[in-house]
Amino acid sequence: MPRHIDPGLESKVLDAARRLWVKGGGKSLTIRSVARLAGTNPPALYRRFRNRDEILKALVEAYQADFLAKVESARSPKEFALRVLEIALEQPEEYELFLWGMRRGVTDARPVARLFMQRCAEAFGGSSDDYINLMLVLRNLLRGTVMHSMDKQATVSPEQTKNAYACAVDILIENETKMRPAE
C-alpha cells in the first residue's frame, strides 16, 4: 500500500521547531523532538529534511519572512526602526533565532536590512547601498537595546531603554547624510 504523504508536514515541522526553539533554544531541537511534536516520525522528517541544519535553515527563513511581513508597511526609516525593535522585544526568542541564523551563515538573505536601506533611499534619495552604514549602526543599536531590555538586573526600565533607542534613531536618521559614503 502506498504511503500517504502529508502536504502540511513542512508547516507542522516548522511550527514544532519554532515552539521547541522558543522553549529551549537550539539544544532542544532534535530530529526526534521535532518529529514527536509535529505528530510524525523521524523517517518522515528525513524524507523532507536531510538533517537538523536543514530544519534550522527553513525555520530561520520562515522567521525572516514573518519579520519582513510585519515591517513592510513601515513607510519611513524611523517607523521601520521602531517597528523592528517592537517585534524583537515581543518575540525575543525568535529574534535570537534570527541573529543565530545570521551568525551561523544559515542564510545569505538579509531581507529586513535590504528593505530598510530601500526605505531610506525612498525617503532621502540616492541608492539603497548608500545607507549601509546607517543600517549597520541601527542594527547594532537594536541588538544592544534588545539585550538590555531582556536583562533582569538592569537599572533602567525597558520603557526608558525603548525611549533612548527612539531618541538615538532620531539623531542617526537626522544626521544620515554624514554617515553616507563620499561619492
Whole-number pLDDT of residue 164? 93
Domain that holds residue 43: 1-49
pLDDT tens, residue by residue, 94-141: 888 877 777 776 666 688 889 999 999 999 989 999 999 999 999 999
pTM of the predicted structure, to 2 decimals: 0.80
- 111 and 27, same structural domain? no
For residue 128, the SS3 value is: helix
55 lies in some domain? no
pLDDT score of 26: 81
- Residue 98, pLDDT score: 78
Q: Are residues 157 and 81 in the same domain?
A: yes
How far lies 76's CA from each of 38, 117, 131, 145, in Å?
39, 11, 14, 20
Whether residue 71 is found in the same domain as residue 126: yes
Enumerate residues 6+ apart whose C-beta is below 8 A from 37.
16, 19, 20
Residue ranges, the chain, pLDDT below 50: 1
Q: Are residues 84 and 2 both part of a single domain?
A: no
Is residue 77 located within the same domain as residue 16? no
Instruction: Say what the pLDDT of residue 179 is.
Output: 58
Count the domains in the chain.
Answer: 2
